[in-house]
Structure 1
């Protein structure tokens, strides 16, 4: 039964991912025709690196909470679970990760805590790096979304482990669950933030490889690309009801890129970026699923020691 549920989950997720491509096919085809194969290859490699940065952010938080996982099983749980973001609704990825993690001995509450902690870590680090890089490269490009940066002080407070642990304890009690056995530490949070920042840098390189073929070059290319992508991702992730921030991220990216590239090329770049990321998700999920078959995960709950 579990196998059938997992297959059904993958088919639905892949179906919505395919719909995201087909619905914008004309613009995608025109955009890819303007890109060199070198730019596409570099962009895809950078996306895979960025997705790995996101996985390591989540993995470091999960380990700090008491469930360290080997790289390959952790990659399978994260990347396959993340395909759920293409299904409408915000809970599919965490539900998938909770069930897959349970098979490796990770308590469901711990998987959920790591998932929901990853979002503010990525959001906060994304806002910080976008503010710094856009102000350093092209300050006017961030002007339409200056209000977003007001969230940075709020998220900075949330990054304090004592605050996070108090919020997690309160939430679990409200749900009638036992508190987490191990609180989050400052070292764990700093490790997660470090991986998140590396991920944003890789995402910026992915966008820079595409933007370069549309005429943008020079010293500001990489910092501007890092900031443009991070800001558009943060705006997209705030729209939880849309699959993977579909549409919102592209609109924000067009607004940021249009003053530099022009509206037409900006739209094309945003569509190409979306498709390369979908391909990256599929590559990571497929590779992680194949590699994890070589590992045999723990068969006991990492908290109680009882068989899973």
Structure 2
């Protein structure tokens, strides 16, 4: 593949589709706002409760989130190496972190387009960047669902063992969907819709499973952050390490699959519902916990964004060097 990058031409949706999307999104945000109305009223009357946490555990949770972001960068850059030359860390980190923040832009494609635009600054084509990002999102969602299903057994108050067995039985199906012969045709269909060249079958299932395992480790790290934050807000959650790990992964997957940018609100609604109805956490600390997690995640991403700024300014040092060959040439 050549070194010149070009931003893909995305077909603008029809006005009625944009209007329908806006209406549905506003409806969902309104429903979520209604769901949390009592929690916001409580917090407005008792603002001191938000700060009554064990800050040493909050600091450890922030550290775990920062490490999780570093793992995200390494995983995406490794996937980029499947389709083109991987980037040096000082280039991959700004490209990934800044584009990941763009997930809060409505429409689900703002993050991908910004990643392509940033990658063009370091001489990477649009198609391999889109391919690596699409595969990363697919495997991230699949690994989150697998981890979520695996830890269902640890949740208290399960009413139907057969329902749990049926859910866990979905794991082989998810792993099958991650096979390159299944995943790549879907990816190529998306590229055709975007009027971009398709990709040949060049991935090995062994490599896909290896990255799948790395993403599962990523979710464990995220679950550790959720667990530490849970202890900081509501100490009795110290006995719920495994359920919180699965809840963190599953709520992200469900939030990503929703229409809301960045899973904003939908992820918190799932987390609060599980904390309150399954893990028997009182409503007030459950809301404070999910609010802390969202704010702490944004803080971690903001710190990463500032930390990689000097790296981006020095990106030209590596652009002029000869790019290495792809790790899995096509």
TM-score by length of 1: 0.79
- Residue 287 of structure 2 corresponds to 267
Q: 1:81 to 1:211 in 2, by over 3 A?
A: same
Of 47, 57, 62, the match for 1:44: 62
Shift of 1:186: 2.5
The 5-angstrom pairing of residues 109-188 of structure 1 reads 109-138=127-156, 140=158, 152-180=171-199, 183-188=202-207
1:189 matched to 2:208? The reply is yes
Contact 2:146 2:171 survives alignment (8 Å)? yes
Counterpart Cα distance in 1 of 2:104 and 2:244: 24
C-alpha distance in 2, partners of 1:25/1:59?
A: 44
Match of 2:319 in 1: 298
Q: Per the alignment, do residues 67 and 139 of structure 1 end up closer, same or farther by CA in structure 2, a change over 3 Å counting?
A: farther
Work out the CA distance in 2 between the residues paired with 1:290 and 1:107.
Answer: 24
- Superposed, 1:7-22 pairs within 5 Å as none
Please tell me whether Structure 1 or Structure 2 has the larger radius of gyration of its CA atoms: 2
| Mapped contact 1:61–1:189 kept (Cα < 8 A) | no
Query: Which residue of structure 1 aligns with residue 307 of structure 2?
Result: 287
Instruction: Look up the SS of the partner of 1:89 in the other structure.
Output: coil
* Structure 1 counterpart of 2:105: 87
Aligned mates of 2:130, 2:307 — CA distance in 1:
24
Deviation at 1:149, TM superposition (A): 6.5
Partners in 2 of 1:262 and 1:200 — Cα distance?
A: 25
If the length of structure 2 is used for normalisation, what is the TM-score? 0.75
* 1:60-103 deviation digits (Å, cap 9, x = unpaired): 21111223111221111000111111222211110010011112
Shift of 1:139: 6.2
Provide closer, same or farther for how the CA distance between residues 150 and 190 of structure 1 changes in structure 2, counting only shifts above 3 A: closer
Measured after TM superposition, the shift of residue 150 of structure 1 is 7.5
Equivalent residue number for residue 8 of structure 1: none
Deviation at 1:26, TM superposition (A): 8.2
Counterpart position of 1:202: 221
2:256 aligns with 237
Cα deviations across residues 197-223 of structure 1 (Å, max 9, x unaligned)? 1211111111111211312245x4321
Deviation by residue 1:262-288 (Cα, 9 ceiling, x = unmatched): 222111111111100011111112212
Q: Return 5+ residue gaps in structure 1 as ranges.
A: 1-23, 304-308
Q: CA RMSD in A?
A: 3.1
Indicate if the aligned counterparts of 2:184 and 2:201 stay in contact, CA closer than 8 A.
no
- Aligned equivalents of 1:192 and 1:69: distance in 2? 17
- The answer (yes or no) to whether the contact 1:62–1:114 under 8 Å persists in 2 is yes
Number of matched pairs: 279
